[in-house]
Amino acid sequence: MFHFILYKPEIPYNTGNIIRLCANMGAQLHLIRPLGFELTESKLRRAALDYSDLTVVTEHDYLHDYMDQFSERRIFAASAWAENSYTEMEYKQEDSFLFGPESRGLSDWIFKEFPDIHPILIPMAAESRSLNVANAVSVIGYEAWRQNGFFGRRGTRVR
């Protein structure tokens, strides 16, 4: 199962959509505090619909906490400054994917502090600035899941 990490998420609708995505993919969601909202907010619940009980959502005080607890997992981080496209990587079922706050993305210090994090890029048109974080999680998550044969998928295997 994949693990998506939202570092200091700010917008409840995005997190709610990602909760729903995680439920549909069989992934887990990790939230690094501080959050820009309360997990009980109606906006978050509305976006997640009734999927909150179908996925595991864990809060961590610091990114270091996640890194220490799950040091054996590979971590890929979405970054506009990455050299390698997300499609160039080979993903495993226990991989983690890190996404930064909606207003600013991931800070450089994260890549300096954790040199084992693999930065990955979602290519965009030259004039584009950024992609919505829920869309970025979807794009990368479904590519990783596709590479792993859509393990855990309901119904017949996609060819």
pTM for the complete prediction?
0.92
**Which band of pLDDT confidence, cut at 50, 70 and 90, is reported for residue 36?**
very high
Neighbours of 63 (CB within 10 A): 21
Domain count, the chain: 1
Q: Using DSSP, state whether 112 is helix, strand or coil.
A: helix
**Which band of pLDDT confidence, cut at 50, 70 and 90, is reported for residue 159?**
low
What CATH number corresponds to the domain at position 112?
A: 3.40.1280.10
Neighbours of 147 (CB within 10 A): 15
Average pLDDT, the chain: 92
HEC assignment per residue over 4-41? EEEECCCCHHHHHHHHHHHHHHCCEEEEECCCCCCCCC
The stretch 141-157 carries a mean pLDDT of 88
How are beta strands 3-7 and 28-32 bridged, if at all? parallel
Domain of 98?
A: 3-147
